[in-house]
């Protein structure tokens, strides 16, 4: 029998629903600060989210709009770095202002995992500063084994590199860990690393093909508050009633 010993969490869309009213707003404010008059609307940002990584997203968009034609590659890299740095400052200020609340059930399930002695990790393509602003700030009560973010890996999701690194950091086997993700790219990355996946959906990912996940929920749920809806998984074996608990996951994924 293999016992669950760790849970790895994606950040954006899983811990905080950051994309629509966090990162997108921060990108648009950064564009404005750099003198641009365009904005990414909700639908356009959804399309750009299929590209992992903020700097990669901006580079793709600027190339698509032929905005870098007069820059050398080195100049383009420096400009992207500066623009993304401004975006990160704006995003962190949004986090610290408390305008972006934690998703339902996320702190609760982390505390349950800690009480059971499970290792916790964050695996995100988000900037390291923003990742630590959440993990070491808003979630300062949670004991994370590691926070993997930013340029810690060379290949972004759906490449499994970040989850393979998480396995090395934890010293555990894939069947001893599960991942909480929200996007197809994240699920594919986790699955390629041999991990089991719980997916929680949000406004940007609810229409994506998340079928490779083992369990799909609208949210982890909280007692007396918002309850989750099970989209995939054995409801009777999971004993799911709208709130997902660590005990349920330990039983469900024990083999």
Give the active site residues: 10, 12
Evaluate whether 112 touches 151 at the Cβ level (below 8 Å): no
DSSP state of 217: E
For residue 129 the two structure tokens come to 């500063």
Phi then psi for residue 186, to 5 deg, are -65, -40
Tokens read off for 196:
């089991």
| Long-range contacts, 127-134 (Cβ 8 Å, 24+) | 127/54, 127/84, 127/88, 127/91, 128/152, 129/88, 129/92, 130/11, 130/88, 130/91, 130/92, 130/95, 131/11, 133/92, 133/95, 133/96, 134/11, 134/15, 134/16, 134/95
Tokens 């600060």 belong to 33
What single DSSP character describes residue 103? P
CB–CB of 178/249 below 8 Å? yes
């Amino acid at each position: 029998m293999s016992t669950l010993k760790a849970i790895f969490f994606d950040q954006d869309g899983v811990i905080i629903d950051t994309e629509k009213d966090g990162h997108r707003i921060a990108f648009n404010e950064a564009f404005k600060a750099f003198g641009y008059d365009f904005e990414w609307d909700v639908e356009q940002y959804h399309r750009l989210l299929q590209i992992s990584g903020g700097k990669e997203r901006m580079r793709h968009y600027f190339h698509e709009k032929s905005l870098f034609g007069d820059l050398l590659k080195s100049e383009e890299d420096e400009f992207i770095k500066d623009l993304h740095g401004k975006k990160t400052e704006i995003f962190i200020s949004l986090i610290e202002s408390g305008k972006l609340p934690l998703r339902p059930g996320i702190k609760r399930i982390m505390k349950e995992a800690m009480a059971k002695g499970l290792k916790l990790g964050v695996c995100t393509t988000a900037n390291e500063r923003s990742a630590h602003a959440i993990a070491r700030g808003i979630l300062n009560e949670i004991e994370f084994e590691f926070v993997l973010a930013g340029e810690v890996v060379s290949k972004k999701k759906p490449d499994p590199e970040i989850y393979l690194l998480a396995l090395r950091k934890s010293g555990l086997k894939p069947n001893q860990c599960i991942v909480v993700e929200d996007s197809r790219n994240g699920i594919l990355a986790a699955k390629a690393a041999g991990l089991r996946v719980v997916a929680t959906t949000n406004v940007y990912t609810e229409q994506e093909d998340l079928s490779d996940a083992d369990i799909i929920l609208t949210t982890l749920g909280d007692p007396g508050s918002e309850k989750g809806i099970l989209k995939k998984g054995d409801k009777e074996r999971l004993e799911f009633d709208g709130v997902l608990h660590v005990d349920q996951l330990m039983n469900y994924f024990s083999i």
